Amino acid sequence: MKKIVSKIIGMALGLTHVTGVGFVIGSNSPTKVEASVGSYSRDQSTYYTSDFAHKVTSSSYGTSLLNTLHELMYDSHGTYNTYNDLWDYTKYTDYDIDNPDNIILVYSRQSIDGTATASSWNREHVWCKSLSGGLYTSVSGTTSNAGTDIHHLRPASTAYNSTRGNTPYGVVATHNSSTQLGDTDCYYTSSVFEPADYIKGDVARILMYMYTHYSNEVSGTSTKSGALSITNIVNTSAGTSQAAWDLLMDWNELDPVDYSEMIRNNQACVYTGNFNPFIDHPEYARMIWDDTSSYKAGLSFTTSYKTVNVGSSYTNTAPAVGNVSSSGDITYTSDNPSVATVNSSGQVTGVSNGVARIKARATINGVSKISYHF
């Protein structure tokens, strides 16, 4: 079957609603496994706006958006996988796109045999059990709760998982051989663990997902919530919730959503029924937690979601983009012009089969907003 190699329109921060345009460019993907306790098919273009009682609207931001996402995730999360399920499901959510029989480990980014057992990799709780406020202190076998959510757990090297332990995330002041995690670009001390730049965004978006879905600090009707506090899992010098969110928003922008993360989000949804909204919409982070008014200006930047076959004869113009053009300019770039090019109007031209991501950057009210590969 064809695989989506890119959801090609970038996202500018601070805008009220962004969806993406996807392009299918050749190649094959491994057959996706059927979930033993549920199989779901969702379309992101309707998931957030029409499929469920709680909907994201053009005026959603701040606490209202946070509460809406909390309810939406609870409404749509039809199956809570068990801890044992992860051994099988991970082979499909975290597969190596260059070697589909392998999986990619978080932190180290190693590609290893996907059928390997706990002797070489295990199930890393990005939000540690001991820092979950008692929400999931016991996780084993047929346990099914926030501590077994496949959107949350990532395969990790047994050794590196042990080294990270239950250390909260943050910034390590000194990067040298004594603080380095093996031969990775991750660093740690006794009080803080700093993931490498190439995984910081993944970590941030998982923590945002967990807090939004499961924290009882968020208003909603969920019966799955507990005392998840962001300052428990993110260590900053200021020690405040806002400082923690500021750091995670920085990481979200430093390491944009990539192809593998999109595949993982889509495949996890097959098993659970819900998406991680911060992967589909990284701009939601600023819209919820940025305490500056410039990110809540109510400007829109919208495109329609679609997939198309792209080859050397393909040409298509990106859809219109809401009212951003009335307040500023949008520029488009391709990260792989040998596969696809894009002109100043957003017209994409296929050159050859392969992987290309188009990103958009918007300048709004004189401020250049960071864009995302989507």
Q: Which of 101-110, 125-134, 341-350 has the lowest mean pLDDT?
A: 341-350
pLDDT tens, position by position, 65-91: 999 999 999 999 999 999 999 988 999
Q: Which of 124-133, 147-156, 253-262, 283-292 has the lowest mean pLDDT?
A: 283-292
pLDDT at residue 344 in the model: 79
In order, the DSSP letters of 147-215 are: GG-TTTEEEEEHHHHHHHTTPPB---S--STTTB-TTSS-EE-SS-EE--HHHHHHHHHHHHHHHHHHB
pLDDT tens, position by position, 40-54: 878 888 999 999 999
Cα–Cα distance measured from residue 94 to residue 111, given in angstroms and rounded to the nearest whole number: 10
pLDDT, mean of residues 195-208: 96
Sign, CA torsion 229/231/232/233? positive
Cα–Cα distance measured from residue 326 to residue 322, given in angstroms and rounded to the nearest whole number: 9
191 vs 316, higher pLDDT: 191
Q: Which of 6-10, 210-214, 299-303, 363-367 has the lowest mean pLDDT?
A: 6-10
Q: Are 184 and 160 in contact (CB under 8 A)?
A: yes
Task: Assign 104 a pLDDT band (cuts: 50, 70, 90).
Answer: very high
pLDDT, mean of residues 200-211: 97
Helix H or strand E segment including 329: none
Check whether 37 has a pLDDT greater than 50. yes
Q: What pTM value is reported for the model?
A: 0.76
Dihedral, CA of residue 318, residue 320, residue 325 and residue 330, to nearest 10: -10
CA angle, 114 then 120 then 121, to 5°: 65
Q: Are 276 and 298 in contact (CB under 8 A)?
A: no
Task: Assign 311 a pLDDT band (cuts: 50, 70, 90).
Answer: low
Query: What is the rounded average pLDDT for all residues in the chain?
Result: 78
Q: Are 276 and 212 in contact (CB under 8 A)?
A: no
Neighbours of 164 (CB within 10 A): 22
Residue 211 burial by Cβ neighbours in a 10 Å radius (0-12, 13-18, 19+): buried
pLDDT, mean of residues 131-157: 91
Beta bridge partners of 350: 340
pLDDT at residue 353 in the model: 74
Cα–Cα distance measured from residue 329 to residue 366, given in angstroms and rounded to the nearest whole number: 10
Dihedral, CA of residue 113, residue 119, residue 125 and residue 130, to nearest 10: 180
Which range is most confident: 57-71, 86-100, 195-209? Answer: 195-209
Residue pointed to by tokens 């609870």: 74
pLDDT at residue 148 in the model: 94
